[in-house]
């Protein structure tokens, strides 16, 4: 007679099947710091699930006497899994009697994010309208590149004010890019350490410029100086721009300096129209010929009437490059996230997005 299986055993078997290990537990395919990188390319990790062992979330690990109300909310929200317990348990039980190819699919989807980069690639993430998931997409890209690669990745908040990129990446007090730009315009970074001192570290190889204040923004010349130092020491840099392409001077600078723009739009009637309209304007603007455009249709509501995958396929049939990003309860929390808690479907979509974005960025030269 088959012995009953405890909930703990089911969860442990699910984690083993998906490659999600507990924090601090080494992954069998992981590459230790300083070990030779994959395929002989510096900065490229061996082919493995980069999110197999998520780093501990920033902030207090548990309730304590000095934990504020805001910190308690953040702790509760960042621990909410992307899938209900019943779904995860049922999948773990199914794994007892059948094989699961998901880990192999995730590794294959991530491979493109580990490609060798010869010169710095800049990716500008723009939103078609508020609430589309622009910052979440930028944070996902930066997080996955940092996890998949051994070289340093930069994530820069270019929203005029109130940006949450650094919060999503677990370093809410990261200095603004304007502070770094003021220094780097006068004295360019002569080493990676010089640059690191101007930014905040969100892990071993992810450097972040955080929320900006209204007024006193660095101009295009200062941003260009900072961008040059960042690209010199960070092979991949992700810029989280203001909502609305072409409406903000800093966003215009980022698009002009980037090899790829990622347009994030909701999977709605208006969002699909945004993608078509922006793609048409992009193709008609000679100055943007060197900058690629990748659209992402997001599902920001679990009960949204339109399916982002179906809408993305319809746009792709018209020759547009569009990828879907479905709804995820963990990402919808709005605070720092742990990829291991995301739903399996969205983890796979995020990996495919990161690989496609880097490949397109490498195909284009920028201005």
Of 10-19, 90-99, 297-306, which range is least confident? 10-19
CATH homologous superfamily of 110-363 = P-loop containing nucleotide triphosphate hydrolases (3.40.50.300)
Return the SS3 of 71: helix
- Residues in Cβ contact with 292 at an 8 Å cutoff, skipping those fewer than 6 apart: 259, 260, 261, 321, 360, 361, 363, 364
Q: Per DSSP, what are the bridge partners of residue 325? A: 298
Q: Which of 55-64, 160-169, 262-271, 339-348 has the lowest mean pLDDT?
A: 55-64
* pLDDT score for 61: 44
Confidence of residue 144 (pLDDT cuts 50, 70, 90): very high
Report the phi/psi class of residue 79: left, alpha or beta, with left for phi > 0 and alpha for psi in -120 to 50: alpha
pLDDT at position 70, please?
A: 72
pLDDT band, very low/low/confident/very high, at 51 (cuts 50, 70, 90): low
Contact 46, 28 (CB under 8 A): no
Over residues 89-96, mean pLDDT:
68
pLDDT at 95: 67
pLDDT class of 21 with cuts at 50, 70, 90: very low
pLDDT category at 42 given cuts 50, 70, 90 is very low
Residue 232 predicted with pLDDT over 70? yes
- The tens digit of pLDDT for each residue in 101-116 reads 888 999 999 999 999 9
**At 334, is the pLDDT very low, low, confident or very high (cuts 50, 70, 90)?**
confident
pTM: 0.81
Percent of the chain at pLDDT > 90 equals 59
pLDDT at 75: 73
Q: Per-residue pLDDT averaged across 218-237, rounded?
A: 93
- Read off the DSSP letter of residue 36: P
3-state secondary structure of 20: coil
- Burial tier of 341 (Cβ tally within 10 Å: 0-12, 13-18, 19+): buried
């Amino acid at each position: 007679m088959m012995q009953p299986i405890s909930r703990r055993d089911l969860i442990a078997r699910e984690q083993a099947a998906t490659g999600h290990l507990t924090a601090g537990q080494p992954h069998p395919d992981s590459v230790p710091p300083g070990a030779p990188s994959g395929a002989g390319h510096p900065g490229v990790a061996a082919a493995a699930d980069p999110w197999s062992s998520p780093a501990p979330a920033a902030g207090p690990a548990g309730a304590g006497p000095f934990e504020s109300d805001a910190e308690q909310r953040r702790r509760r929200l960042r621990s909410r899994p992307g899938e209900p317990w019943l779904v995860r348990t049922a999948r773990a039980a199914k794994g007892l009697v059948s094989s699961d190819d998901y880990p192999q699919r995730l590794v294959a989807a991530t491979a493109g994010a580990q490609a060798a980069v010869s010169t710095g690639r800049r990716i500008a993430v723009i939103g078609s309208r508020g609430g589309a998931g622009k910052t979440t997409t930028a944070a996902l890209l930066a997080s996955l590149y940092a996890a998949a690669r051994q070289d340093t990745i930069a994530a820069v908040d270019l929203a005029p004010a109130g940006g949450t990129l650094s919060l999503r990446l677990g370093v809410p007090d990261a200095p603004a890019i304007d502070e770094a730009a003021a220094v780097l315009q006068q004295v360019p970074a002569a080493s990676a350490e010089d640059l690191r001192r101007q930014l905040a570290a969100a892990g071993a190889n992810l450097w972040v410029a955080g929320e900006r204040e209204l007024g006193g923004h660095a101009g295009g010349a200062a941003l260009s100086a900072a961008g040059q130092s960042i690209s010199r020491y960070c092979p991949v840099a992700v810029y989280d721009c203001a909502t609305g392409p072409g409406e903000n001077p800093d966003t215009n600078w980022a698009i002009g300096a980037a090899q790829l723009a990622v347009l994030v739009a909701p999977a709605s009637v208006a969002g699909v129209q945004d993608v078509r309209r922006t793609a048409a304007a992009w193709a008609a603007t000679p100055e943007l010929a060197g900058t690629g455009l990748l659209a992402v249709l997001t599902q920001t509501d679990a009960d949204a009437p339109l399916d982002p995958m179906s809408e993305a396929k319809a746009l792709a049939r018209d020759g547009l490059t569009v990828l879907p990003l479905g709804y995820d309860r963990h990402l919808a929390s709005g605070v720092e996230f742990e990829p291991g808690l995301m739903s399996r479907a969205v983890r796979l979509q995020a990996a495919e997005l990161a690989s496609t974005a880097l490949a397109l960025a490498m195909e284009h030269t920028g201005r």
